[in-house]
Chains A and B, each alone.
Chain A
């Protein structure tokens, strides 16, 4: 198993551009998450999904959109990139159920908006 994979690893955007961060998992996990990590702030949940076709907002959803058309993929879309979206983005997944709380994280995408 490759686990959770994210592309790209790095990206520089200009203000106002848009892009999609890709996330794929091959563990057949129902739940998937997008976090952003800023220095000294920990990880903040952007969006999450409990299954294909079902998504919901986390703590910091403004400026982002998601979709979940398959179990494996959970792309994060940035529209009209702003400097405040400069961050490291992590995708995570886990199995459904109270006994399966462990989230498995991808390697991250480092995004800079100039």
Chain B
């Protein structure tokens, strides 16, 4: 059972365009929602994260939009660049305990020059 559902599986965007990746969850006990970026042959690396007390967080060209009532969150990449081509994973962790992460299935983003 996938605790965090992610779409689309793959995405092709023109350079300069906006990339949007969506995630949904059911467990209302999740209180931390990160996005990880993974390049081929490398481990994932944290890109940006949000907690449910805010609806949006922006870091440079990357923005997380969070809708607590809909239990959805999304990653927006503005002015997408070829260097953004990677696999993106959303994730969620529970309050307390070891804060283990539950990952989405990933989105492979390709930005065409």
- Residues of A whose CB lies within 8 Å of any CB of B are 4, 31, 33, 35, 40-45, 48, 50, 56, 58-59, 90, 92, 98, 101-103, 105-108
Produce 1/0 per residue, B1-30, CB < 8 A to A: 010001001000000000000000000000
Which 10 pairs, one residue from A and one from B, show the smallest C-beta to C-beta distance?
A: A105-B43, A42-B103, A43-B103, A42-B105, A102-B46, A105-B44, A101-B32, A90-B43, A107-B43, A50-B98
Contact between chains at A33 and B100 (CB < 8 Å): yes
What residues of A have a CB within 8 angstroms of the CB of B106 in the complex?
40, 42
Cα distance A40–B89 when bound, in Å?
11
Do the beta carbons of B101 and A103 come within 8 Å of each other? yes
The dominant DSSP class at the A interface is strand
Can you offer 13 A-B residue contacts whose CB atoms are under 8 A? A33-B100, A40-B105, A41-B105, A45-B100, A48-B98, A48-B100, A56-B98, A59-B102, A98-B99, A101-B93, A102-B34, A103-B101, A107-B43
Which of A41, A43, A101 is within 8 Å of B44, CB to CB? A43
Inside 8 A of A31's CB, which chain B residues have their CB?
Answer: 98-99
Task: Tell me the complex Cα distance, A110–B42, Å.
Answer: 11
Cβ of B49 and Cβ of A42 under 8 Å apart? no
Count chain B CB atoms within 10 A of each CB in A50, A105, A106 and give the residue with the most: A105
Instruction: Find the residue from A33, A43, A45, A92 having the highest chain B CB count within 10 A.
Output: A43
- Complex Cα gap A90–B42 (Å): 10
User: What distance in Å separates the Cβ of B66 from its nearest Cβ neighbour in chain A?
Assistant: 15
Chain B contacts of A108 at CB under 8 A? 41-43
Q: Does chain A have a CB within 8 A of B45?
A: yes
Tell me the B58-113 residues at the A interface (CB within 8 Å): 89, 93, 98-106
Given contacts A90-B43, A101-B32, A105-B44, contact A43 B98 (CB under 8 A): no
Query: Which residues does chain A contribute within 8 Å of B98, judged by CB atoms?
Result: 31, 48, 50, 56
- What residues of chain A lie closer than 8 Å to B34, measured between beta carbons? 101-102
Docked-complex contact A43 and B89, CB < 8 angstroms: yes
The CA of A41 and the CA of B42, in the complex, are separated in Å by 17
